[in-house]
Copies of this chain bind each other. A is one copy, B any other.
Amino acid sequence: MPVNLPPLNPSQLKPIAGVRIGIAEVGVRKANRKDLTVFLLDEGASVAGVFTSNRFCAAPVQVCREHLDSGSAVRALVINTGNANAGTGAPGLAHARQTCDALAQLLNCSATQILPFSTGVIMEPLPVERIVAGLPAAMADAQSAHWAKAAEGIMTTDTVPKAASVQVQVAGKTVSITGISKGAGMIRPNMATMLGFLATDACLDPALLPALAKRLADGSFNRITIDGDTSTNDSFMVIATHQAGHAPITSLESQDGQALLQGLMQVARQLAHAIVRDGEGATKFITVQVEGGRTGEECRQVAYAIAHSPLVKTAFFASDPNLGRILAAVGYAGITDLDQGLIELHLDDVHVVSQGGRRADYREEEGQRVMKGSEITVRVGLGRGTASDTVWTCDLSHEYVTINADYRS
């Protein structure tokens, strides 16, 4: 059961003018499963994205990068679940290209105008014929109201579909922002850490989009971790269709730029948090705040050490205030000149550690009370400076082992 994640209400997802979505069942891995999703974009849409930092990146990620770099106007995204097309060598690359070719032919555009995405099992040949054969059905299904269906169509071990939507006022017009995401394991920073697709009808200078995508990822998907495994296929795409009819935004620092950024960040963060809340086996949603660092980078380093520690994560699962494990993670995070005598630790409102030692007034019942909750904030003070950063994660439960020991069977 996802942690405090209300069920998806399809009617709350605003359609985005200029984006239609079609879904088909093509049997990539299992029968009777929505496993092929196509995003069709009106002419004039802009797309930017960020991809996994994994050097063993999947074939579709390589092809996406090529196609985006070519500067071609993107007309469609094609996403299959069930197979990641990663660790598949040269044939895998050929399969990703074949998918683009087939869709380009149907859309009467160039293959470089198609972006392919895959998610699922690694190192199995992609059943490209079934995907190609299913493209016409997916296209025929295309509607602007299909966001909820798409959220389902890209799931792997996710237990619930994930989507979010807001409307903001930009330059006197109502702008819509809608996004979907998937991912529940092999989730770690250093890039989008899952599949995420965010679209808006806002009008903005297309040149702003790459930096915007990076900024959104860094404030959301690049700050979550479930198991520390960076996937081979992570992709986060931002689509702007420029159809809202307001004067185009030319700077993100302008008032309208900020309004749009805020709306986009809200949706991106909601989608990223949804991934953690539905983390494999997650029973708790944990916010790790590290402050008092010399740089944001070292705060992140400490936050991730805590968020990745299996010992910390199992303690959360057990609601056991075995908080020394957090101190140990702070200590091995890699800050070589850390002064342990300056460390402070709060668990929600409970002040646990001062000057590197357990406080005399700390009561285990207090720690226990916080640990029993399903939303917990760990706050660490490093006492070295004024930088801070935040990372979101979940606990490590029996269910995580069960899911990952049985995923393929």
A interface with B by C-beta (< 8 Å): 53-57, 84, 86-92, 121-125, 185-186, 188, 190, 227-232, 308-311, 314-315, 317-318, 320, 322-325, 327-332, 335-336, 338, 340-341, 343, 353, 355-358, 396-398, 400-402, 404-409
Contacts and interface: CB of A to CB of B under 8 A. Distances in A.
A228 B311 CA distance: 9
Nearest to A93: B357
B55 A405 contact: no
A53 B308 CA distance: 18
Contacts of A398: 398, 401-402
B405 A315 contact: yes
Nearest to A321: B408
Contacts of A322: 121-122, 407-408
Given A186-B311, A228-B308, A55 B340 contact: yes
A324 B229 contact: no
A54 B332 contact: yes
Given A186-B311, A186-B328, A405-B315, A358 B123 contact: yes
Contacts of A92: 357
Contacts of A124: 324, 358
A404 B188 CA distance: 22
Given A53-B332, A55-B335, A320-B407, 11 more contacts: A55-B332, A84-B324, A86-B328, A87-B356, A89-B341, A230-B332, A232-B327, A232-B331, A318-B409, A320-B406, A398-B401
B89 A331 contact: no
A107 to B, nearest CB: 30
A328 B89 contact: no
Contact of A404 (B311, B336, B355): B311
Nearest to A329: B229
Contacts of A57: 331, 340
A122 to B, nearest CB: 2
Contact of A324 (B123, B227, B310, B343): B123
A343 B56 contact: yes
| Oligomeric state, in copies | 2
B56 A328 contact: yes
Contacts of A328: 54, 56, 86-87, 122, 186, 229-232
A401 to B, nearest CB: 5
Contacts of A323: 123
A320 to B, nearest CB: 6
Given A84-B324, A324-B123, A340-B55, A310 B400 contact: yes
Contacts of A232: 324, 327-328, 331
Contacts of A228: 308-310
Given A56-B331, A330-B56, A332-B229, A356 B186 contact: no
Contact of A87 (B53, B309, B324): B324
Contacts of A353: 87, 123
Please list the 8 inter-chain residue pairs (A to B) with the smallest Cβ-Cβ separation, ordered nearest first.
A89-B357, A122-B324, A56-B331, A318-B405, A123-B324, A314-B404, A230-B332, A54-B331
A317 B325 CA distance: 25
A323 to B, nearest CB: 6
A183 B311 CA distance: 14
Nearest to A343: B56
A317 B309 CA distance: 19
A356 B188 CA distance: 22
Contacts of A188: 332
A255 to B, nearest CB: 39
16 contacts: A55-B332, A55-B338, A56-B330, A56-B331, A57-B340, A121-B324, A186-B328, A228-B309, A229-B329, A230-B331, A232-B328, A310-B396, A318-B406, A320-B409, A400-B401, A401-B401
